[in-house]
Structure 1
């Protein structure tokens, strides 16, 4: 936490934007430094994500892509996922996002296909809420990964 709190604005912005491509979210998290501990940082990151407007979320979604499939995934699976993703984008107008933290690689494809097919049945307002929550979860996971990286120094440039 000491390095996170002491990082330059530029380094911190770079790190935070790598977690969620929302300048508003990044500024909100950075403005509340110093954080006494990891729990406080994660709570602030969650709160900042909950406060994002749909245009903020749309901006963040523009930088997202589908999670990579495990090596050796057969081509029919790529075709099925591409078709499901195209249907999702046509219905909702943005990329499909999902946080797969903790999902074993062997289950990634099944989880992705199951989730995208299930969420295609959502109405647009319901899907906006689910999408916002998935982005929040992605940002939280990426922030934890960034903090653990480089010897627990997320922003040691």
Structure 2
């Protein structure tokens, strides 16, 4: 936490944007430093995410990669997932996001397809609520990962955190 609290603003902003690409969220999390511990940081990150409006979430969604499949996934699965993503984007106008924290690689494909198919039945307002929750979960997961990966380097990342 010392490194996070002492990181230069520009470096911290870059690292936070890799967790959730929302300038409003990044500013809120950075502005409340110093944090006494990880739980306090995660609570602040969660609170800042709850305060985001749809335009902030749209900004974050624009930078989100599609959820990745394990490298050994067969071609037909990629085709099925691409078709599901296309149907989702046609219905809601943005990429599908899901936090797969704790899902084993062998379950990733089934979980993704099940979630997309299920969420395609949501009305747009209901889906916005689900999307906001998934983005909050992704941000917290990525923030924990960034802190873990940083070790003794104050959140020095050269690229965005991986989607899960």
TM superposition score category, shorter chain reference: over 0.9
Would you say the 8 A contact 2:15–2:156 is kept in 1?
A: no
Runs of 4+ residues over 6 Å off in structure 1: none
Report if aligned partners of 1:3, 1:156 keep a CA contact under 8 Å in 2: no
Tell me, yes or no, if structure 1 residue 143 matches structure 2 residue 143.
yes
Aligned residues: 157
Residue of structure 1 equivalent to 2:111: 111
C-alpha spacing 1:149/1:129, structure 2 compared with 1 (3 Å): same
Contact 2:13 2:30 (C-alpha < 8 Å) held by counterparts: yes
Is the 8 Å Cα contact of residues 148 and 154 (structure 1) preserved in structure 2?
no
Q: CA deviation at 1:80?
A: 0.5
CA root-mean-square deviation:
1.1
- What TM-score does the superposition give when structure 1 sets the normalisation length? 0.97
Does structure 1 residue 77 correspond to structure 2 residue 77?
Answer: yes
Query: Is the 1:85–1:95 contact (alpha carbons within 8 Å) kept by the matching residues of 2?
Result: yes
Unaligned runs of 5+ in 2: 158-164
The higher-RCO structure (CA 8 Å, 6+ apart) is: 2
Q: TM-score, normalised by structure 2?
A: 0.93
SS of the residue 1:148 aligns to: helix
Shift of 1:31: 0.3
For residues 15 and 52 of structure 2, the distance between their equivalents in structure 1, rounded to whole angstroms, comes to: 19
